[in-house]
Amino acid sequence: MLLNKNDPVYPSGMEIMIHYVCPHCHKTVRVPPTPREVSVTCPFCKGRFALVPVDDSSIKFIQVMTLNGLAAIPQDYL
């Protein structure tokens, strides 16, 4: 609960993004992790390509170890 609208706001979560290199234009495309093979469209060149899936348990481990982003808060704010 905020005491006043100028109080700093705590993180409400953390989003992990996986970086893939587009095979068409070679630019880095950031995509949320997915545990299954999917195809995406590059936002730069509009080329489509399939992604290698990411191990879901590894992503869950990172979220648990960082308290879903709260572990990044300096101790002065806790």
Reported as a single tens digit per residue, the pLDDT across 12-64 is: 888 899 999 999 999 999 999 999 999 999 999 999 999 999 999 999 999 89
Spatial neighbors of 56 by CB under 8 A, at least 6 apart, are: 33, 35
pLDDT of residue 32: 94
Token pair in block for residue 65 = 């170890």
Domain ranges of the chain: 18-77
How far is the C-alpha of 22 from the C-alpha of 26, rounded, in Å?
5
Q: Across the chain, which distance is largest between two alpha carbons, in Å?
A: 50
User: DSSP strand E in 1-78: where?
Assistant: 18-21, 28-31, 39-41, 48-50
pLDDT of residue 27: 98
